């Protein structure tokens, strides 16, 4: 073989290998391009930056939770970035957006107010244009917080009906428990009623797993929560009389009587509210599988055909939330009563007490308690055994105070803007607290930035005779007092421009183990 033939053969071999290499390079380049397209236009992963959405989403800030093995817990989520090209954002969505007052940061909150709406926070609930905003079923399920379960401060909390120190007889009857942690009520002639004698407050730690290492960083005034859900297994032992479940929410009382099979009195729901003067309670009723007769003038709904069987345990759920009462048997909806009531008055302070504040190195300070709420369970002309009790409360949105407002709870959302809140309402920097400083400086400069009055993110910050101030674009400015022509101009800035919304958070993909938190979000 001469040299020309040899060179030709090597060239053919080289050309034979080159397509394979080229195809691999092309495939790798296409994969990178597709990943970038997905990231910028479809789905992107985010790490939760703060604790403002806890316990729904756990953030990786300086108050990061730790598990029982001392490892940090933080959630990573997937965000759908094209969903709002198909539909507008909806109330209660969990959205990711550029923080308007520091646009280099992305925040995650729950969407509350839509363009053109008037939002008001009253007694823990959200009102839109004067009417209460009711949450969809899946959202509400995600926001229930277990009250009676073990949590980081009380990891050895016993079951609800085994907490004998928390139950008090209203009729001076002896509180009897069963060997397996149940509660026994007896009233052969008359009525026996037990009161859960413990304040149901917006405790910061409700909803956290007992194995998480966390403490209340900021101790605030406490509010009684009246949006409650009581779940229990009940078994009556006689055919007469029945079982009564009562939820108390400051200005409202909701009493459900579940009749035995031979009871002369049918099952009913009684609704009492001091929010109506004439006594009649405006309501609408939805039932499944049972007839009813609504009597708004007396606040009673008679449930025809609904009876508790003798000697057979029944799983019962009674919930009052967002001015609606729901009764479930064995996870099936029996009745839903929607109340059409005016907004409640603001809760009044009922008590002050001393409490230890972890943020003040254990020193005690005075804390105010607002409002009253509770649950009662009674039996009439019957005997009942109660097991597997669970008590939940709804998220309680609080107003906040600032230098500009004594109580920030009223918001008028402009067009093309949104209003958000964090699920961790006691420790969330959200639309209730966003404020700006604006300086007009010599030379015609004007700078506007996020106002943070203290802490590691304090802005502006005094450094000797100079002022250091970070603007909304993340650029830091340093100036002296003589540079200031006007300012600082202090304003509230509670809203998010629509163009800053990046997408909807829909899935938690991390952590996978210890603890397992993978799930879809609501």
Residue 329 scores a pLDDT above 60: yes
CA quadruple 337, 338, 341, 342: dihedral positive or negative?
positive
Tell me whether the omega of the peptide bond preceding residue 511 falls within 30 degrees of 0, making it cis: yes
Range 189-209 average pLDDT: 84
d(CA 2, CA 173): 114
Residue 472 near residue 449, CB atoms below 8 Å: yes
Residue 331 and residue 316: Cα distance in Å, rounded? 8
Dihedral angle sign, alpha carbons of residues 394, 196, 148, 360: positive
Q: CA–CA distance from 152 to each of 56, 211, 218 (Å)?
A: 16, 6, 16
Q: Which pLDDT does position 15 carry in this prediction?
A: 46
pLDDT tens digits, 437-446: 999 999 999 9
Whole-angstrom distance, CA of residue 107 vs CA of residue 260 = 53
Instruction: Give the separation between CA 133 and CA 513, rounded to whole angstroms.
Output: 36
Q: Quick check: 402 pLDDT over 60?
A: yes
Q: 353 by DSSP, 3-state: which?
A: strand
d(CA 325, CA 253): 11
What pLDDT is recorded for position 363?
A: 42
Whether the Cβ atoms of residue 398 and residue 426 lie closer than 8 Å to each other = yes
Enclosing H/E stretch for 300: strand 300-304
**Backbone φ and ψ of 41, nearest 5°:** -120, -20
Residue 496's CB is within 10 A of a number of other CB atoms, namely 26
Supply the pLDDT for residue 408: 74
CB-CB contact of 204 with 147 (8 Å)? no
CA distance 235 to 314: 6
Query: 325 near 269, Cβ under 8 Å?
Result: yes
Q: Is a pLDDT exceeding 70 seen at residue 465?
A: yes
For 50-98, what is each residue's pLDDT tens digit?
888 988 998 866 556 666 666 677 888 999 999 999 999 999 999 999 9
Q: For the chain, what percent of residues have pLDDT higher than 70?
A: 80
* Residues in Cβ contact with 66 at an 8 Å cutoff, skipping those fewer than 6 apart: 72, 73, 212, 213
CA distances from 200 to 34, 204, 216, 372, 449 (A): 51, 12, 17, 8, 40
**Confidence category of residue 155, pLDDT binned at 50, 70, 90:** low
Instruction: Give the C-alpha separation, 404 to 488, whole Å.
Output: 13
Q: Which of 173-182, 245-254, 402-411 has the highest mean pLDDT?
A: 245-254
Binned at pLDDT 50, 70 and 90, residue 423 comes out as: very high
pLDDT for position 500: 97
- Phi and psi at 404, nearest 5°, equal -95, -30
Could you give the dihedral angle defined by the CA atoms of residues 204, 400, 360 and 211, in that order, rounded to the nearest 10 degrees?
20
User: Which phi and psi (to 5°) does residue 134 adopt?
Assistant: -90, 140
207 contacts: CB under 8 Å, gap ≥ 6: 55, 145, 146, 151
**What is the C-alpha separation between 325 and 318, in angstroms, rounded?**
7
Q: Distances from the Cα of 70 to the Cαs of 66, 491, 515, in angstroms? A: 5, 42, 12
Question: How far apart, in Å, are the Cα atoms of 129 and each of 27, 113, 114, 431?
Answer: 54, 10, 11, 18
C-alpha dihedral, 384 to 389 to 395 to 399, nearest 10°: 60
Strands 228-236 vs 314-321: parallel, antiparallel or unpaired: antiparallel
Cis omega (within 30 of 0) for bond into 265 = no
* Residues annotated catalytic, as ranges: 52, 109
Phi/psi for 424 (5° steps) reads -85, 65
pLDDT, position 66: 66
Sheet strands (E) in 181-259: 183-196, 222-223, 228-236, 242-249, 252-259
Chain-centre distance for alpha carbon 9: 72
* Bond before 460 cis per omega within 30 degrees: yes
C-alpha 506, offset from chain centre: 16
Selection from 184, 182, 183, 220 nearest residue 201 by Cα: 220
What's the pLDDT tens digit per position in 278-308? 667 788 888 877 788 888 888 889 998 899 9
């Amino acid at each position: 073989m001469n040299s020309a033939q040899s060179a030709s053969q090597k060239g053919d071999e080289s050309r034979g290998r080159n397509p394979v290499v080229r195809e691999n390079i092309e495939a790798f380049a296409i994969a990178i391009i597709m990943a970038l397209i997905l990231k910028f236009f479809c789905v992107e992963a985010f790490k939760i930056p703060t604790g403002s959405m806890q316990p729904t989403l756990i953030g990786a800030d300086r108050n990061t939770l730790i598990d029982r093995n001392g490892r940090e817990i933080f959630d990573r989520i997937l965000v759908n970035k094209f969903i709002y090209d198909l539909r507008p954002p909806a109330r209660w969505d969990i959205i990711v957006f550029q923080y308007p007052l520091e646009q280099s940061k992305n925040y995650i909150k729950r969407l509350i107010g839509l363009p053109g709406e008037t939002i008001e926070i009253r007694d823990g609930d959200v009102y839109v244009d004067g009417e209460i905003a009711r949450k969809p079923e899946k959202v509400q399920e995600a926001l229930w917080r277990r009250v009676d379960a073990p949590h980081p401060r009380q990891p050895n909390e016993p079951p609800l009906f085994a907490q004998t120190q928390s139950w008090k007889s209203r009729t001076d009857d002896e509180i009897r428990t069963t060997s397996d942690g149940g509660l026994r009520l007896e009233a052969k002639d008359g009525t026996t009623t037990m009161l859960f004698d413990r304040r149901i407050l917006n405790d910061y730690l409700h909803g956290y797993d007992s194995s998480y290492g966390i403490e209340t960083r900021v101790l605030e005034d406490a509010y009684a929560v009246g949006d409650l859900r009581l779940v229990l297994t009940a078994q009556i032992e006689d055919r007469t009389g029945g079982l009564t479940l009562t939820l108390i929410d400051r200005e409202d009382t909701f009493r459900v009587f579940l009749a035995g099979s031979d009871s002369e009195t049918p099952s009913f729901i009684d609704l009492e509210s001091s929010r109506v003067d004439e006594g009649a309670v405006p309501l609408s009723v939805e039932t499944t599988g049972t007839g009813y007769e609504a009597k708004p003038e007396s606040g009673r709904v008679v449930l025809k055909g609904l009876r508790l069987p003798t000697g057979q345990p029944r799983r019962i759920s009674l919930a009052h939330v967002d001015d609606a009462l729901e009764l479930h048997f064995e996870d099936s909806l029996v009745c839903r009563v929607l109340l059409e009531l005016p907004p409640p008055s603001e809760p009044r302070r009922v008590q002050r007490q001393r409490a230890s504040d972890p943020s003040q190195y254990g020193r005690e300070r005075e804390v105010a308690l607002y409002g009253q709420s509770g649950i009662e369970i009674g039996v009439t002309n019957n005997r009942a055994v109660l097991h597997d009790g669970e008590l939940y409360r709804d998220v309680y949105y609080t107003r906040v105070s600032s230098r500009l407002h004594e109580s920030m709870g009223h918001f008028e959302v402009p067009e093309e803007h949104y209003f958000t809140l964090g699920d961790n309402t006691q420790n969330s920097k959200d639309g209730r607290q966003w404020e700006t400083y604006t300086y007009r400086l010599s030379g015609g400069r004007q700078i506007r930035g996020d106002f943070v009055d203290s802490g590691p993110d304090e802005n502006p910050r005094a450094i000797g005779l100079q002022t250091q101030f970070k603007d909304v674009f993340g650029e830091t400015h340093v100036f002296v007092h003589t540079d200031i022509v006007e300012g600082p101009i202090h304003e509230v800035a509670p809203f998010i421009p629509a163009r800053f919304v990046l997408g909807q958070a829909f899935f938690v993909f991390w952590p996978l183990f210890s603890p397992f938190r993978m799930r879809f979000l609501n």
